[in-house]
Amino acid sequence: MSAGGAGAAVDPPEEVRVVAGTLASGQAAHLDGGPHGVCLVRIGDEYHALADRCSHANVALSEGEVDEDDVAIECWKHGSTFSLADGRPQCLPATRPVPVYPVRVEGDEIVVTVK
């Protein structure tokens, strides 16, 4: 059987946890986890998570500005914005999406599942 075929081991998802309420609406924060860290964003009562690395410039998205109306985050380096819903770039120069991760609330914690 070849490597990577049926029966190949798959890494289990990683859970990244943070205390709820540590992030105000319209803010982003970097969390350790996954291959590039996690950018956690709060808009109102909803949380969004994506890989904390711009697909164009290899810089932290968590350092960019959150656009609450468009539910997006802007890369501080060159101005590309990424949808928090699906990770797709909304303007150039970025052309590739960034991974998005499921988020859930468990008691007083926000849990991000990094796949």
Selection from 56, 72, 74 nearest residue 64 by Cα: 74
The domain locations on the chain are 23-114
CATH superfamily membership of 23-114: Rieske [2Fe-2S] iron-sulphur domain (2.102.10.10)
H helices within 1-115, ranges in order? Answer: none
Q: How far apart are CA 7 and CA 58, in angstroms?
A: 33
And the tokens for 65?
Answer: 């500005």
And the tokens for 39?
Answer: 């950018």
At residue 1, the pLDDT reads 43
Q: pLDDT tens, position by position, for the chain (115 residues)? A: 444 555 556 677 899 999 988 899 999 999 999 888 999 999 999 999 999 999 999 899 999 999 999 999 999 999 999 999 999 999 999 999 999 999 999 999 999 999 8
At residue 11, the pLDDT reads 73
